[in-house]
Amino acid sequence: MSDAVSGMAEPDQLLDVAVDDLGIVRLTWVRGLRITEELANHAMTLVDRVNGSHERPLLVDMTGTAALTRPARVTFTRRCSASRIALLGQSPVDRVIANFALGVSSVPVPTRFFTSEPSAVAWLRHDDTGA
């Protein structure tokens, strides 16, 4: 197993957090990753740090995620500085994982799964125009 999949590498190497020109925060996970509670915490901390006192929409690219542990899912139910969350994936596996994250534990802000990035962005920005 590669370091990436086992998650024993430095957390910073396993995910990327940045704000794009549209003011959307993009969280991208390394492919084939088993997302643990520790990684989930780290991700939320980074997002909060990037946002500061603002709330911004969040686009999570979880394509190819191998697994999402239960403790990690519980962590994601915590309130953070994301005003809306779009989960982006491709495969049926992505869809299953995303829906576990959505349905089994309640999430604090509107959250949806998308297989198309433009749709995800449009939905996230819909919030900005005050709809």
Partner 1 sequence: MTTRAPEPGDDRLSQLVELVVELASGDRGARMQPSPASDEIDAVIVGINMMAEELQALDADLEARVTERTLQLEQAQLQLERLALYDPLTGLANRTLLADRIGQAMARADRGAAPPAVLLLDLDGFKAVNDSFGHAVGDLLLMEVASRLRAVVRESDTVARLGGDEFALVVIDATNDQVLEMAERIRTALQAPAQLGDQVCWVSASIGVCFAVRGQQADALLRDADTAMYEAKGTTRGAVQIYETRMHTAALSRVRLADQLRGAIAGGQLRVHYQSIVDLQDGRTSGVEVLVRWQHPTRGLLLPAEFIGVAEDTGMIAALDRWVLDTALAQLAGWRATVLGNSAFTMHLNISPIELRSPRFADEVLGSLAHHGISPADLVLEVTETQMTGDDAQTLQALETLRRAGIAVAIDDFGTGYSSIGYVRQKFLDLVKIDRALVTGLDTDPQQHRVAAAILAIVDAFGLDAVAEGVETAAQAEELRGLGCRFGQGIYWCAPMSAAPMTMHLTAAAHATKRAAS
Query: Contacting partner 1 (CB under 8 A), which of 95, 102, 115, 123?
Result: 95
Q: Dihedral of CA 124/104/69/49: which sign? A: positive
Is residue 14 within 8 Å of 4, Cβ to Cβ?
A: yes
Query: Contacting partner 1 (CB under 8 A), which of 69, 112, 115, 123?
Result: 69
Residue 2 Cβ vs partner 1, minimum distance, rounded to whole Å: 12
109 binds partner 1 (CB under 8 A): no
Site for partner 1 in 9-68 (CB under 8 A): 64, 66-68
CA distances from residue 49 to 1, 46, 55, 120 in whole angstroms, order as listed: 32, 5, 11, 23
92 binds partner 1 (CB under 8 A): yes
